[in-house]
Structures are given as structure tokens and as C-alpha cells.
Structure 1
């Protein structure tokens, strides 16, 4: 009898434990949305690729008791099959293309996070933490303790634009807080805007900044520079502030001062060009694109570039012999041995420049002729199908229809020989023949 009772108790414990480990889902989307608003909780939606009753089979991590507890404690939960008519609104509203998908919405209806795929337990747990962190931040928690946690978590998740958050963070600091190495490093790694208050405060103690750049590994300081430049450029474009873009360009040139003044100036001009593209200033894009490619990619003759190729091949052979003799698989960056841009690099960049002129849809023959000269040079340096395709489109835009037809036919032949899909090129060829491209 005791054995029977023991077995019954064990079964009861297993049943209740299993029940306790299930995520509590609301039975309708409307009810879930109302409850989330009422309790001021995050709404966690799961749109499954199969029947939602099998969601734990599709996503085994949902069986994890720690994850289940986190869902039940902090979220209002609802799951639905993608084929259910009620999911159509959600799929359209949140631009869902892949399934299964988790969608997290705060009590005010704002999207916090969207994640797709079969996510393992540790990433689902981090996904839930991220949704809660984002909601806490959006709800107005700007304490330095939370912001430091939030920024560090964002960095660990691969989010490199924390310029806004670091500005809010330094607002809560006193001047003496900025006199420690760790604090300065933290602020720099958040990627502050170069013209922002956070960076200005750091520069009141340049000795500490210099110490960071001398002490940390090169890849760490390079990442800091990249983040600061990228975040400053993103802000310049978002707010259409040309002077901010120039600040980013100046800092870019400064960061490359040890490499080469020419490289630094090229990057400076490149940042301005990036800005004009970002704000969709077509006139400035055309003008600066011509200046950029003429200055940096048409200033060296084809023969000189081919001589670089010969030098590069010799460097590569020598480098390979050194590695083979040493038994190493890799070593220092080959560019440190004197390797320079050759035919492939020049050809690729000139083709990109020509394509960028095409993308503006300009009808101005001066700009189109410039682009055609770059495209012609790219074909001379590397006569592949992509470069011929670009050249054919420019010839067509300039009214050279018969020449464009012949050039595109050559591109198609190259594509065919390489066993690549020629459908798009063949469609374009038909349009050239009909003068409808």
C-alpha cells in the first residue's frame, strides 16, 4: 500500500511540476493586448510556423523551467499559428517574413524586439532580458547604474550605436567620476558622438584618453574610432547636419594620420560623399562622386596599375615562401609588406562609382560620360561580365544603342561561360533592342 501511495505521490509531483513548467498563454490576442495594457507588462507574441500547440517541440528551449518562469513572471503571453487569419495583421504590421518569430510589445503598443528562428535556451533568456531592459529604458529609467548596465549589455549584444545612451549617462556623473581609466574606457567604447557632450567632457582630461590609446590593443582603439565615426555620421544624416558630418570626416582623417595623408584625405572625401548619399542630395552626390573617383581612381594610368600587380604578385610569392618555411598558416597583414591596390581593386571601385551614377537616374550627359570613362577603365583592368554590364547600361543612357547591345551580349556570353544566371541580362538586352530600358 505504501508503495502504491509513493508511486501516486511521485506521479502527482511530476504532473504538477510539468504543469508548472508550461508558459501561460492567453486564449485570444485581444485579451492578451488588454491584459498587457492593464498590468503594464510586455506582450510576448509567438507566431509559430506549425500548430502553436507544438511550439515546445519546435522550440525545445520553451521547456526550460527557468525560461518558462521568466515568461510567466514578466510577460503576458500569446501564441498563434502563422496560417491563422488573426496572425495576418501581426505579420503585416511587424513585417514578419520568417517563422517561428517572437515579437515583444510594451503596454503602449511600441515594438521592443523581434527575433526569428529556433533559438537556444541561453539566447532566449537573453532575448527576454533585452526586451525588459529596453522597456525599462523607454519607461524613463536614466539612473547611471541602470544606464551602465544597459549600455554594457547592448555592447555585448553587438549593438554599437550607444551615442544617445552615453550622453544620458554622463549627465548623471560628477567631474571626479571622469578621472578614472575604467570610466573613460567605458565611455569611449560606447561610441560617443565626436561633437557630443560626452566626448567634450572626456577631452578635459586628455592624459587619460592618451593613456587608453597607448594601453589598449590596436583592435580595441580601432573599434572605438570606428564606432565614434559611424555614430556621428548616423546622427549627421538623421538630422541633416553637414557640419557634424565634417566633424566625423575630420576625426576619420586624424585617426589615419599614421598611415598616409593621402588615405586620410580620401576617407575625408568619402565621408562627405556618404553624407550626401544619406540625405539624398542628388546634386551634391553627382558633383562629389565625380570629384572623388577622378581624384582617387582615375589619377593612375592602366600601365602603372599593372606594374603594381606584378609587384604585388612578387610580394605574395615571397610572403608565401616565408610562411611555408616558418610552418605558420598566417602572419602579419600582407599590406604591411608593401602590397598596394592593383587591377582588381581599381576595377571594382570604378565599377561601383559608375553604378552609383546610374543609380541617381541622371540624364545629364556630362555625368554619364564621366561614369562611362570609369566603366571603360574598369573593363580594361578587369574585363568581367559585371563590368561589361555596367558599361552597356551607360552606353544605352548616352544613346549608343548598337554599342550597348554588343557590350551586353558580351557580358551575357561571359556569364554563360561561368555558369551564372543570365535572366536579368537577357531581359535588359530585349529592352535595349526595343529602346525601353
Structure 2
């Protein structure tokens, strides 16, 4: 059984009726037209609409529409269009409304930002995209330069910025190379310090330590960033550090990732401890250090066994209400700009909104955590009856909390390894029955049935 992946859900609202901008009938048509016309494709993604809130984007103002129709091949993703999800994931879209500018090959040229809902904002984005194309400021061009030209401070900074903009945050080695060009005094520049942090250096590594040793008010500057950006930076630092620790089998580096994870939870010491333990367990599993994995795992996952079904269901309802409220608030929040804001007229309205991603919450992820822990015990290859019995307890609790076909599949395969063949077959049948009820994909159902046949044939 493969691990359960938490699926990102993108919530869209009602269909918008657009005018002025000449949008193509489909994304493939837009790409084809861009190739023949040698123009950039502009993909517009708007905010979710609510019955009590209709948002009129300045993207469709006449001056903006005229400029975009002249210079770009335009396309928008309608609300509910399932293909929008793959586009959003590919180009790492985190905020809406915005424009994404790509060439006919799909290469990112420029990704716009959430900003003032004014013509100037959308015209500025368009001009930046055109300048980048004219000057060759694209990630593909810079990858060629990076691989073929002598490295310099300027090249590295521009390359890293383009990677960050495109959603590539594994830049720890690049930023370590970049700081070799810097002096101690450079780290006192707030913009320079933030750039280094945004590149997601290794936790407590060379670049990270230099910034925090010689930088000024680094923490206060970091806290001024939007929450979503801080989360992205922290997650990227943790991911880069842990991946490198696994690649080099460096336990000290893995412990750095563990400690950094704990620190990101601030005063929530309990959750910080749990999340940091998950990181070190990920390391032990990846490097196949089964002794340490089996030693530590019970302390963490047994702590989740005390969670009741009610404590899972109630927070899920609260979380759903919170997400719905966030959609409404973020789509309707208008912030009157201060007079100090540049290039805006009095009364200009700025819409602040973002895509809502529903990920693992502290509560709803517990069944998945327990199931995955049991599956990890199984895949690490243990035949120790005590270990397998512990895994059975975890997955049974996951089923109690939230029955899923994949959990029954995990239970069946563990029973099979323990040579409880009747129990294995019984639970695999339950997995298949539930999977059919839930209309899972044909490939997943085929995999469950194949496992069932192997259990019958004693060939699993």
C-alpha cells in the first residue's frame, strides 16, 4: 500500500463573465496561437467569487485590455476548471488574483504578484514580462549561463531570484556559493539578509549562520514578511537541510533540520517536539537506520493513540468553517491605501486574497500519521512480532478514527506477514469494498485486487 498523500484542494467560486480581454477558448489553443504569433501567453487567475461579493478586476479595464490584447495571447481559467489545479501546482501559484506569463513551450517568463487592483498594476506586470523576454531574463536562459559561463555574484543572484520566482526553493548550495562573494559588512544590509533567507539556506549552515551572526534585526525583518512567505521559507529551509542530510547520510545535519523544525513552532512546544521527531524519523527511514527508527517511533506515535474520534471530527468542522471564512474575508478585504503609497490615487482599493490550501491539520492528519507509521514498519522489512503487533495497533486506531480503504490494505499486508492469512484476506476484501463505494481510481482498485489475489495465492 502506498502512503496516503494529502491532496491540496483549490476552492473556486462561481463562473465569471468576462469582457474586453480577448481570451482564447482553451489553454492548448492559446499555446498554439502563441507559437504562431511569437507572443507571450498571459494566463489570468482570479479570486473566488461569493454570492454576496462580486469582484471586478482591473485586469478587465479598457486600457489594460487594449494593452494585453495587443501584446499577449490571453487565457483565463474558469471557476471549477479541473485543469487549473495542475497549472497552479506547476507554476507554484500561491496568491490570486494574478497573471502568469509563459512562452509557447511553457517556460515561465514572469509570475505577477498580488497588488493594487488598478490598471497601473496590471500594466506594470505586462511591461515587466515583455522586458524579461526582450532581455533574455528567463530561467531557461540563466540555466544555460550557469552551466556554461564563469560564475559571478551578479549571475548567481539573478539565477537564484529566477528560481525562487518559479517556485524552486532548493537553492542552499547556490546561496553558499553566493556568499563567498560577500563581505561581512554586506550582511548588515536588510535586503541582502532577506535575500539569503529567501534562498532557503541549510539550517545552521554557512549562509544561515553568517546572516544571523552579522545581520541586524534579522528576526524582526523576517517577521514583517507575509505569513505565507515565512511558512514557505521555513519549510524550504527544513526540506533542503533534511534532503541534504539524507543524501550525505549526515546525522548532524538531520538533527539541525530537527531542531530548526522545533524552533518554528515557537511556544507550541508539544507540537514542535512532535514535528521535529517526524523529521528525524524521516531521516532514519531514508538511510535505513531501522534500529533507531524502531526505537524512537513508538514514543511519538503512541502519543497519538489517546486522541478520540470526537476530537478528530470537531476540529475538522472547525477547520472547514475557518477555510470558508478565510475565502470570504480574503476575497472581500479592502485596504484603503495610505497617502504615502506611491503612484496611487486617493481611495484606491487593494484586494488581498490567496488560494486556500487545505493541508494536514493538527487533528485531521492523525489517522494518516498512524497508518503511515504502520506502513513504514512494514516497508522497512521487520518480521519482529512485537514491531508488527505495534503497527497493527496503530493502523487499527487509524481505522477507528477514519476508515479508509488504504488503511485496511495496510492492515491486511501486516497480517499476511504475521502469517494470519484469513485476517489478511478479510481486511483486503474490506479495502476493496470500501474503495468501490468511494469510487477510487481504476489503477488504485486494480492494485488492491492484485494484492488480494497474492494473499489468496500466498505469494505476497
CA distance in 1, matches of 2:39, 2:330: 48
1:289 aligned residue = 297
CA distance in 1, matches of 2:329, 2:37: 50
Note if 1:132 corresponds to 2:141.
yes
Contact 1:59 1:119 in 2 (8 A): no
SS at match of 1:142: coil
2:311 aligned residue = 308
SS at match of 1:148: helix
Contact 2:190 2:215 in 1 (8 A): no
CA distance in 2, matches of 1:238, 1:423: 34
RMSD: 3.9
Note if 1:392 corresponds to 2:412.
yes
Change (3 A) 1:119 1:389: same
CA distance in 1, matches of 2:160, 2:385: 50
Contact 2:109 2:137 in 1 (8 A): no
Contact 1:393 1:404 in 2 (8 A): yes
1:249 aligned residue = 258
2:67 aligned residue = none
The 10-residue stretch of structure 1 (349-358 or 284-293) with the greater mean CA deviation from structure 2: 284-293
In structure 2, stretches of 5+ residues that fail to align are 1-29, 41-101, 111-131, 334-351, 354-359
Contact 1:163 1:231 in 2 (8 A): yes
SS at match of 1:383: coil
Change (3 A) 1:329 1:238: same
Q: TM-score, normalised by structure 1?
A: 0.64
In structure 1, stretches of 5+ residues that fail to align are 1-56, 68-114, 333-338
User: What pairs with 1:250-289 in structure 2 (closer than 5 Å)?
Assistant: 250-258=259-267, 260-289=268-297
Between 1 and 2, higher relative CO (CA 8 Å, sep ≥ 6) is seen in 2
Q: TM-score, normalised by structure 2?
A: 0.61
CA distance in 2, matches of 1:251, 1:320: 28
User: What pairs with 1:2-401 in structure 2 (closer than 5 Å)?
Assistant: 59-64=32-37, 119=106, 129-139=138-148, 141-205=150-214, 207-258=216-267, 260-294=268-302, 296-298=303-305, 300=306, 305-309=308-312, 311-312=314-315, 315=318, 341-342=362-363, 344-401=364-421
Higher helix share: 1
The alignment covers a number of residue pairs equal to 322
Deviation at 1:266, TM superposition (A): 0.6
CA distance in 2, matches of 1:59, 1:165: 35
Note if 1:427 corresponds to 2:414.
no
Contact 2:179 2:207 in 1 (8 A): yes
CA distance in 1, matches of 2:39, 2:208: 41
2:127 aligned residue = none
Change (3 A) 1:432 1:245: same
Contact 2:255 2:280 in 1 (8 A): yes
- After superposition, what is the alpha-carbon deviation per residue over 1:345-383, rounded to whole angstroms, capped at 9, x for unaligned? 332221111122222232222211111111111222223
Contact 1:142 1:169 in 2 (8 A): no
Change (3 A) 1:153 1:128: closer
1:7 aligned residue = none
Change (3 A) 1:220 1:423: closer
Change (3 A) 1:356 1:218: same
SS at match of 1:119: coil
Deviation at 1:233, TM superposition (A): 1.4
1:71 aligned residue = none
Larger radius of gyration: 1
